[in-house]
Amino acid sequence: MSYRAPVADQLFVMKELAGLDAVSKLPGFEEAGLDTAQAVLEECARFNEQVVAPLDRAGDTEPSTWHDGQVSTTPGFKAAFEQFAQGGWQGLQHPAQFGGQGLPKTIGAACTEILNSANLSFALCPLLTDGAIEALLTAGSPQQQQQFIPKMVSGQWTGTMNLTEPQAGSDLSLVRTRAEPQPDGSFKLFGTKIFITYGEHDMADNIVHLVLARVAGAPEGVKGISLFVCPKVLADGTRNDVHCVSIEHKLGIKASPTAVLQYGDHGGATGYLIGQENRGLEYMFVMMNAARYAVGVQGIAVAERAYQKAVAYARERVQSRPVDGSLPRAATIIHHPDVRRMLMTMRAYTEACRAMALVGAAAYDAAHAHPDAQARARNQAFYEFVVPLIKGFSTEMSLEVASLGVQVHGGMGFIEETGAAQHLRDAKILTIYEGTTAIQANDLVGRKTARDGGAVARAVAGQIEATEGELAKSRSEHAAVMLKRLRSARQAFLDAVAFVVERGKSDPNAAFAGSVPYLMLAGNLVAGWQMARALLVAEARLAAGEQADFMRAKVQTARFYADHMLTQAPGLRDSIVDGAVGVTGMALEAF
């Protein structure tokens, strides 16, 4: 079954929900209207459907290999990456002054989804390069920006982020890689970094590593971490003292080489300080936040691919007569109610999370480019609130959707040859890297809700209430059902916000015991809100006689989301507000 990019749905979301017309009026984005978006997405779809997607299965069966410090990627990856670079895809969102196209995130995020649906393992290389570019744009010196960014934007070089060490996973206060200052202003780096995506490969001439390390005498903990740029090949063409000593054997994303990098075994790896000493974690968070959003989009991408595969199988697999007796013989399984329930679950989750992500991207664009300071601040607050939802909810969603994809295939889904299992295996890492779901949830509870007394959370709920007002004006049955479910979910969310704000002060364990359910409730609500908005648009378009088949399907998908996803919100609320004792009550020695 061949992958087909969901361009029509992406354009619908951009135009009707994300407000692409308003984005194209922002300074610097004047050429980024609907016509540009359609042309870019259609070309992105063509390239990925024809070049990148056919390599997805090969990447799973013929993963990257390591030999004597060298990594060989899956056959076909290098040639595909050359075409990717030549097509200008790496520079899509980056500034024109460095060779990029300067398009808004609203368009770039849709292209990111298409690339990751086509081949998640392949797409990880550009994803990390994007993050490295963002970090250098934020904190790099003009000389560093000119030296590194143009060649990363062009795809000649790629980038990595080096945080994790054997003893330092999510707790970066434990980083021990050291940096020794040199007379010429450079540093020598010594240490081991693990889980470095595309830390070594054969697809580009150079790899630009961004490395967290401690300068001698730096304070302990996170306040003593600095950020360095450490290229694999130095400016004079010599090989730097950073070497890949192994790559990991993984559950999924097997074609993406996850490297163990050793710095300084032969005298020290030459690195250059980015920004100021001891502010490395602050700079790296720029890269991490960009990556967290992108990982959420990866979840949507895997879900879309799993859904397409499941639909294709359900249309072909003949099994059992319909329960209503409508056919005298065995029918394709798409006739059976529970198969349709699974397919609708996959579709509704994917479309809702796509809408949430693209609406978030538009807020990011406005936060950075809007001429009005208050509008920038308002959009920045909204974007920061939804990033943990996009990352956490969308990736947890992708696991459920990929698992349902296996289930639709039945026993054949458990057989590797069908390819359904690959999506499930690939999806698992998305809930883990760039901060686990619990880390996203702790951020949502602590920084994004409790810190401001729930102000931004309640402001989002206020926007949702306004949509309820629009639903109330409709006379359709579907809008009435959506109104009922959305209102109930919003109230459940507000109850949870109140609990998090109050109990976070007096009993942090109680508040954080429900952090992941709180994230799932918030994600479900915000995604469902977008489906409610989509429902209103689709009904108006149907009344005007536009795109009847597409709009009817959108209405039905929104109705399913209301009945089957938003109805989960009150239960999540109860587990947050009343469930802490069940989480923390067990004595530790009883486990």
What's the rounded Cα separation, in Å, for the pair 12 and 550?
10
Pair type for strands 65-67 and 70-72 = antiparallel
What's the rounded Cα separation, in Å, for the pair 120 and 34?
27
In order of 94, 221, 236, 368, 566, the CA distances from 297 in angstroms are 18, 32, 38, 20, 21
- Residue 270 pairs in a beta bridge with 188
CA 209, 214, 215: angle at the middle one, nearest 5? 110
In order of 458, 460, 532, the CA distances from 529 in angstroms are 14, 10, 5
What does the block give as tokens for 588? 């530790």
* Helices (H), ranges, 48-167: 56-61, 77-86, 105-118, 120-139, 142-153
Query: Collapsing DSSP states into helix, strand and coil, what is residue 218?
Result: coil
In order of 222, 294, 391, 432, 435, the CA distances from 170 in angstroms are 12, 18, 16, 10, 7
In order of 189, 286, 531, the CA distances from 227 in angstroms are 11, 12, 41
Chain CA centroid to CA 340, Å: 27
What's the rounded Cα separation, in Å, for the pair 40 and 38?
6
Question: What is the phi/psi pair of residue 532, to 5°?
Answer: -65, -45
CB 99 within 8 A of CB 85: no
Residue 58, class by beta-carbon neighbours within 10 Å (0-12 exposed, 13-18 middle, 19+ buried)?
Answer: middle
What's the rounded Cα separation, in Å, for the pair 99 and 157?
13
Sequence-distant (6+) residues with CB within 8 A of 389 are 296, 356, 444, 519, 522, 523, 526, 527
What's the rounded Cα separation, in Å, for the pair 426 and 255?
10
In order of 87, 473, 492, the CA distances from 545 in angstroms are 38, 20, 37
Q: Which of 560, 473, 379, 534 is nearest to 15 (CA)?
A: 534
Catalytic residues: 434
**Tally of CB atoms within 10 A around 69:** 11
Pair type for strands 226-231 and 269-274 = antiparallel
Q: Which of 125, 277, 148, 272 is nearest to 201 (CA)?
A: 125
Sequence-distant (6+) residues with CB within 8 A of 365 are 23, 26, 29, 104, 105, 106
CA 458, 460, 466: angle at the middle one, nearest 5? 105
Question: What is the phi/psi pair of residue 221, to 5°?
Answer: 75, -165
**Tally of CB atoms within 10 A around 587:** 6
Name the residue with tokens 């609203």: 106
Chain CA centroid to CA 45, Å: 19
